[in-house]
Amino acid sequence: MVAPALPTAAAPLTTARRLLSRLGALSFLAVIGYLVIAPLVGLQRLAFEDGARGYASAFDRPEMAETLRTTVGLALGSLAIALVLGTLLAWAATRLPPRLRLLRALPILPIVVPAVAAVTGWAFLFSPRPGYLNALLRHLPWWNHLDEGPVDVYSLPWIVVITGFGLTAFVYLFVSSGFANINSELIEAAQVSGSSSVGVFFRVTLPLLRPTLVYGGFVALLLGLGQFTGPLLLGRTGGINVLTTDMYVAVSQSPIDYGRAAAIGSPLLLFGLAVVIFQKVILGDHSRFVTHGGKAFRTPGRPSRLAVAGIVLYSLVALALPLGALAIVSLSPFWSGSIDVGGFTLDNFRKVFTESGITDAIVNSLTISVISVAIALPVGFVAATLLLKGRRFPVIRAAVDFIVAMPLGIPAVVFGAGFLLTYSREPFMLYGTREVIVLVYVTLMLPFTTRMQLSGMVSLGDAYTEASRTSGAGPLRTTAEIMLPLLRPTIAGAAALMFVLLTHEFTASLLVRSPTTQVMGTVLFDYWGNGSYPLVAAIALVMTLVTAAGVLVATVVAGSDIFDKL
């Protein structure tokens, strides 16, 4: 019997397709590899030039030891605050009465407020002399003899507290997700054995939350080490320096010292890598903590009024107070320690929407964010597809996985300095253009666009794509007619969330911007330096409204658990 000719004819076609797939995967890896790694390599190359002159100039300074201690102290102090508050708030959210379950969203809302807006709000509250709450506290018997204070927002302890409040929302998200994955049967078994609610929490719940606490804690620690906004706006006034602000000084002075900036940022890179390795060693075998069963988590005990009070109190302190201060200053002709309601005016908001420099910055923020999201979405889709279905290319798949995760572990100030170096010289002279901001924005969004779309693909499973391929559709047609329509809510949610994150991005923008290309955060910083505080407050509120609108859209299109999907 003569063998059919079809397999023989199809073999070269199959081989060609595999070769094209491999070349496409390699090309994609090369593009994102250059985008993410080239700026970092360029910085380090300059740091090691001339006998590692960059490291010598950075670490031979006597003040560097104090800078390192301050950086670590800020990270550890804010981490401790965030872990305690985030865990307690997540526990309180499980004790809410059914009719008040909407309050579970309150601890997440501080994420909506841009960091630069929140920090300026705290400054308006607790500046030693004109801060509103300081002026109020000086009426109390304990402090009525003071001319300023009693709180100094420009001191390290208060920068730690403010940073801790900002990180609490992230820990809350992680721990809340951990609570949802705990099998209620284990809780009930502990109660039947005679354990009290407190005993159940410490003996059963907390041990089961250990992976979540470790992972969330290390993420918060990395965010704490990379803090930039608070130390820059508050710490520099009091001579408080951290590694990120030292890097900013190195690339904002004239002449720019890239080698020194790279050397200063090296501990952040090394510590980030060490944290990831340490995290894996501590967690060990994740299967030891899998507790899924027939029943989802239910809190032991009755709903608690104290839980309601705790969540509302945190929201008032972390959200309402700084926003209230911004509102008061934005409506005032000048900032002082007293509030003159009769003198309130909308002039500052009129200036925001009439002064060309500010309106250009708002337009730039919106335009650049939209363009960056439009680029990041297809890049994230390809990366997620490779991670999910690229088993034929294990090396490429592992490299893509590593590269798209790097922007989460590396502070944005490091990327900002690297992009400023890479794109202000040949072959890419992009300094002063929108394009360089778009590139850095796309880079920073790689983990988010990939993670969310990967989550959507995993939830769909393989049934739809296999049915399409069985029916004779090729990969492109399957993607266009099956995958993309089914992933539409996920893609829309990812787009809205990235838009939110980018419209209040400040750190990297400050390093790559030019005087003629500003975004909302950078123009706010310039007015802050000029002492135009009412205008600063108005810009901060506009930023907050823009991001709040983005969160609303993201919630509508992707569900209320959009932040959990990260």
Please count the other Cβ atoms lying within 10 Å of the Cβ belonging to residue 516. Answer: 9
pLDDT band at 121 (very low <50, low <70, confident <90, very high): very high
- pLDDT bin (cut points 50, 70, 90) of residue 345 is very high
Q: Is 33 exposed, middle or buried (0-12, 13-18, 19+ CB in 10 A)?
A: middle
Segments of 258-413 assigned E as strands? none
pLDDT digits (tens, 9 = 90+) for 1-13: 454 544 554 556 5
Is the pLDDT at 505 greater than 50? The verdict is yes
Question: Shortest CA distance to 23 belongs to which of 393, 332, 379, 292?
Answer: 393
Query: What's the rounded Cα separation, in Å, for the pair 521 and 120?
Result: 12
309-330 pLDDT per residue, tens: 999 999 999 889 999 999 999 9
Residue 276 pLDDT grade (very low, low, confident, very high; cuts 50, 70, 90): low
**Smallest Cα–Cα separation from 248: which of 15, 413, 395?**
413
Express the helix, strand and coil content of the chain in percent, nearest 5 each.
75, 0, 20
CA nearest 444: which of 474, 486, 415? 415
According to DSSP, the residues that pair with 428 across neighbouring strands are 425
pLDDT at 1: 46
Residue partners of 368: CB distance under 8 A and separation at least 6: 434, 437, 438, 441, 502, 519
Residue 291: C-alpha distances to residues 201, 215, 297, 518 (Å): 15, 17, 10, 49
Question: Is CATH 1.10.260.40 the right assignment for the domain spanning 66-326?
Answer: no
pLDDT digits (tens, 9 = 90+) for 461-504: 777 777 777 777 767 777 777 777 888 878 888 888 888 888 88
User: Confidence class of residue 170 from pLDDT cuts 50, 70 and 90?
Assistant: confident
Q: What is the pLDDT of residue 183?
A: 59
Beta bridge mates, 425 = 428
What's the rounded mean pLDDT across residues 365-391? 90
Confidence of residue 352 (pLDDT cuts 50, 70, 90): very high
Q: Is pLDDT of 297 > 70?
A: no
Average pLDDT over residues 43-61: 86
Q: Average pLDDT of 346-357? A: 91
**Which segments of 226-355 does DSSP mark as H helices, in order?**
229-230, 243-252, 258-283, 305-315, 321-330, 347-352
Q: Is the pLDDT of residue 301 over 70?
A: no
| Domain ranges, ordered by start, for the chain | 66-326, 342-566
**pLDDT tier, 557 (very low <50, low <70, confident <90, very high otherwise):** low
Strand partners, 424: 429
Looking at the DSSP bridge assignments, the partners of residue 429 are 424
Residue with token string 């049934």:
463
User: Is residue 281 pLDDT above 60, yes or no?
Assistant: no
pLDDT at 184: 62
AA letter at 64 = M
Structure tokens that stand for 24 in this block: 């496409």
Q: What mean pLDDT value characterizes the chain?
A: 82
Mean pLDDT of 534-561: 80
Does the domain at residues 342-566 carry the CATH identifier 3.20.20.140?
no
Choose between 278 and 307: higher pLDDT: 307
Please tell me which residue, 563 or 231, carries the higher pLDDT value.
231
Going by pLDDT thresholds of 50, 70 and 90, the confidence category of residue 286 is very low
- The pLDDT of residue 291: 44
Q: How far apart are CA 220 and CA 174, in angstroms?
A: 10
Q: Is the pLDDT of residue 200 over 90?
A: no
22 has a pLDDT exceeding 50: yes
Equal fold, 66-326 vs 342-566: yes
Q: Which residue has the higher pLDDT, 259 or 213?
A: 259
Q: Compute the average pLDDT of residues 343-360.
A: 91
CB 126 within 8 A of CB 335: no
| Section 555-562 average pLDDT | 62
Torsion from C-alpha of 179, 185, 188, 192, nearest 10 degrees = -150
The CA distance from 430 to 419, in Å, is 10
- Whether 231 contacts 74, CB under 8 Å: yes
